[in-house]
Amino acid sequence: LINFYQVLFFCFTIIALSITIAELPDFKTRDILAVWGDFCGEQFLFIVVHWPSRIGGVWQTEHLRIACAQKVRSMVDSAMQRNPKIKIVVAGDMNDNPLNRSLRCELRTRHSHRRLQSHDLYNPFVRKSTSGSSRYDGRYVHTATRSEF
């Protein structure tokens, strides 16, 4: 562990972005934290999120997580348009599974790095979560398998 900071190797900017949904003007959720800059001569963008929970029902709240995914996607597209070689990491609590619409369709994540197309994001966790369960409302609920999509 290196315990020092050198501007020559690491220079960054931090910003917090809020989420708005036109149909829900009073809607509030956690901001998106974006950190971008240069590390050892390479540009990077880290996006940290905590999307709305599933409280109230998965399908009833899905549009909230989709709105968050769309905001992140627009940030990713903007960064890639400025620099197609930028390194991007999106991390946090999405409150969705890797195969849910917010991640698979809106954020455009893919489970195979070999199948990535321009502007896709690689999600290494898809293969690790193809079946199982999630804890919700004090009990475990079934998580859909890939064949159920």
pLDDT tens track for 44-84: 999 999 999 998 888 999 999 999 999 999 999 999 999 99
The answer to whether 69 touches 30, Cβ cutoff 8 Å, is no
Report how far Cα 10 is from the mean position of its chain's Cα atoms: 23
pLDDT given for residue 3 in this prediction: 45
Does residue 130 register a pLDDT over 50?
A: no
Q: How far apart are CA 131 and CA 55, in angstroms?
A: 21
* Mode of pairing for the β-strands spanning 87-93 and 42-50: parallel
Considering the entire predicted model, what is its pTM?
0.79
pLDDT given for residue 27 in this prediction: 85
pLDDT tens string 3-31: 445 555 677 888 888 888 888 888 888 89
Average pLDDT, integer, range 106-119? 86
Q: Which of 110, 23, 109 is nearest to 73 (CA)?
A: 109
Q: How far apart are CA 129 and CA 124, in angstroms?
A: 10
